Each structure stands twice: as C-alpha cells, then as structure tokens.
A = this chain, B = another copy of it.
Amino acid sequence: MLSQTAEYALRAVVYLAQHPGEPTTVEQIAKHTQVPVGYLAKILQQLARAGLTSAQRGLHGGHILTRSPAQITLLDPVMAVDPIHRIDRCPLNINGHGHELCPLHRTLDNVIAAVARSLQAVTVAALLEDASGAAPLCGAGNARPATAAVALPSI
C-alpha cells in the first residue's frame, strides 16, 4: 500500500517524537526502527529537505523534529518521501473530457483522497498518547495487553 520508504519515514518520525530534544543519530534510529542504516540516512535527508526534521553534524549531532509531534500528521512524512498523488486527469486522456474523470478514476481518486485524509487526521502525538495497547514502535519492555484489532473478513 504505502511504499517501504514511507513506512521507514514514519517509523523514524515516531522514534524522533519519542526522543524530544536530544539530537538522535541515524545509527540509533536505525537500530530501534529496524531500518537499514544507509537507506535511513537518505530518508532522513529527505525529511530534512521537507522541513520536518533538521540535522546537526559532528560530535553529539543527529536529527531532531522541527515541530512538535502534535503538529505533525502521518501524512507529513509520507508526502515528504513518497508523495501520494491525486488523480487529477484521466490517465487515458483520449478526447479530452477536460478535467473530468471517468467513473473508474473518480472512484479511485476518492479512495486516494480518503487515504490522505485518514493519514492527515492522525498526529504523531496522538500515536504516542495512544493508551490502547502496545507502545509506539513496539517499544521494548512496555507493551501492554490491548483491545483486539477490528477484524475485516475476506481479505
């Protein structure tokens, strides 16, 4: 669904949110989020370029969030590294029905829009405050029993 890269970016942002203040090295983030170090470095660069994080070089350097977790939604890192594209014109743009979409692509675009809204509706802070179960990112040692996830049959 989301790309591997987007997943990694989300993990990194959540981890950073759990470690406010302290600049955190790529290595440390990678270790705790199970993301390949070298690849994560690239992703963190993208997050920095997008203004979500900032990095400090040198000794005691590392990455930090530039905004409070309450002001970062799950959509933000996703758009930074692997943007979700709305369908804004029919991919089969034969005899231009202007910017109107055919029923298929209108439906697909609605799905995409819903995904974007869902991600946008959840802040990173909300994840951290979540009291229903395991700690964010399966934080070692502090997982608690939780309510069962809602089952969706058939897929």
Contacts and interface: CB of A to CB of B under 8 A. Distances in A.
Contact of A100 (B106, B115, B143): B143
Contacts of A90: 134, 138
Nearest to A144: B97
Taken together, the copies of this chain in the complex come to 2
A63 interface: no
Given A95-B141, A116-B155, A138-B90, A11 B132 contact: no
A84 B137 CA distance: 22
A70 to B, nearest CB: 15
Nearest to A95: B140
A51 interface: no
Interface stretch (A21-29, A37-45, A52-60, A145-153): A145-153
A113 interface: yes
A89 B61 CA distance: 34
Nearest to A85: B1
Contacts of A108: 1-2, 7, 10, 74
Given A34-B91, A104-B136, A106-B132, 14 more contacts: A1-B1, A11-B104, A84-B155, A92-B138, A95-B138, A95-B143, A100-B149, A102-B134, A102-B138, A103-B127, A103-B132, A110-B150, A114-B114, A116-B152
